[in-house]
Amino acid sequence: MPKLVAVVGGKHSGKTTLIENITRQLQSRGYRVGAVKEMVRIPTLDTPETETDRYTAAGADAVVAVPREETVVFIKRRLGIQETLDYLHGMDFVLLEGFEAEKTLPKIIAAKTADEATAFADGLAIAVSGIIADSPEETSKASQLQIPLLSGIRDAAKLADLVEQKAFEKLPALPHCGECGYPNCYEMAKAMVRGDAKAEGCVLPRKEAFVLEVNGVRIPLKEFPQRFLQNVLENMLLSLEGIPEIKEIKIKVAKK
């Protein structure tokens, strides 16, 4: 899975410019980089009355457009970050624009003022950047946050260094897990940003022998329910005639 960093902030704060410059830096270092933009103000990117829009109106759940130089996939529902990452296999890093409400990944705050930077500071910021970097007065005020403040243009290489050092895979977002020693994934993510914890501290990916998906969304499970469900299924199948040695089980249940 790719490592993630979200660039968050208000309108016209420099988020897109930041992602452009960090992407160029990471690409120049040989990394494959993906980008995801949250667009909460518009319902769709499709163009009304085009063929793809007409396919949707006819009831298609997914529409694929294949022009000469790209492929565009319209999934007719909003995907979560984890589902979106399924389309970004092979990326080393994925930069997200928006997704301020996410509490399981590191962030770079793009801000115009110190007050705006403070509003987006939730313990997950690895840097502050954006328009604020051009204002000595606002930069001085923002120093109280004790977060590195870097220009998205002049310090693009340093921002890319931070992404290399601080980005990590999205945590499962379990509210009350505790397997890592922290009460929830948010607290674990904050500790990783501070440097007090490492990704290996999240034990669920290493123990994920049982994968549960509901409506296409993967549901993280702690070790005990994984073992319980796996044992129930294996024992049930082994009681049937003609079942060979079990290496993998796949079950799909469609409710009508």
134's CB contacts (< 8 A; 6+ apart) are 151
Q: What is the pLDDT of residue 114?
A: 97
Q: What is the pLDDT of residue 221?
A: 67
- The mean per-residue pLDDT over the stretch 144-148 comes to 95
- 216 exposure class (CB count in 10 Å sphere: 0-12, 13-18, 19+): exposed
Residue 130 in this model has a pLDDT that exceeds 90: yes
Residue 207 in this model has a pLDDT that exceeds 90: no
Q: What is the pLDDT of residue 223?
A: 67
Residue 245 in this model has a pLDDT that exceeds 80: no
Q: How confident is the model at residue 171 (pLDDT cuts 50, 70, 90)?
A: confident
Q: What is the pLDDT of residue 11?
A: 93
- pLDDT, tens digit, for every residue of 59-117? 999 999 999 999 999 998 888 888 898 889 899 999 999 999 999 999 999 999 999 99
Q: What is the pLDDT of residue 205?
A: 58
d(CA 126, CA 5): 9
Contact between residue 6 and residue 107 where contact means Cβ atoms under 8 Å apart: yes
188's CB contacts (< 8 A; 6+ apart) are 171, 180, 182, 197, 201, 202
Lowest mean pLDDT among 10-24, 163-177, 208-222: 208-222
Residue 13 in this model has a pLDDT that exceeds 90: yes
d(CA 22, CA 4): 13
What is the 3-state secondary structure of 72-121? Answer: EEEECCCCCHHHHHCCCCCCCEEEEECCCCCCCCCEEEECCCHHHHHHHC
Q: Give me the domains of the chain, ranges plus CATH numbers.
A: 3-166 (3.40.50.300)
75's CB contacts (< 8 A; 6+ apart) are 61, 62
Output the average pLDDT for the chain.
88
d(CA 18, CA 20): 5
Residue 256 in this model has a pLDDT that exceeds 80: no
Q: How confident is the model at residue 15 (pLDDT cuts 50, 70, 90)?
A: very high
- pLDDT, tens digit, for every residue of 37-54? 999 888 888 889 899 999
Query: Which carries the bigger pLDDT value, residue 92 or residue 225?
Result: 92
pTM above 0.85, yes or no: no
Q: What is the pLDDT of residue 209?
A: 60
Query: Which carries the bigger pLDDT value, residue 9 or residue 199?
Result: 9
Q: What is the pLDDT of residue 216?
A: 63
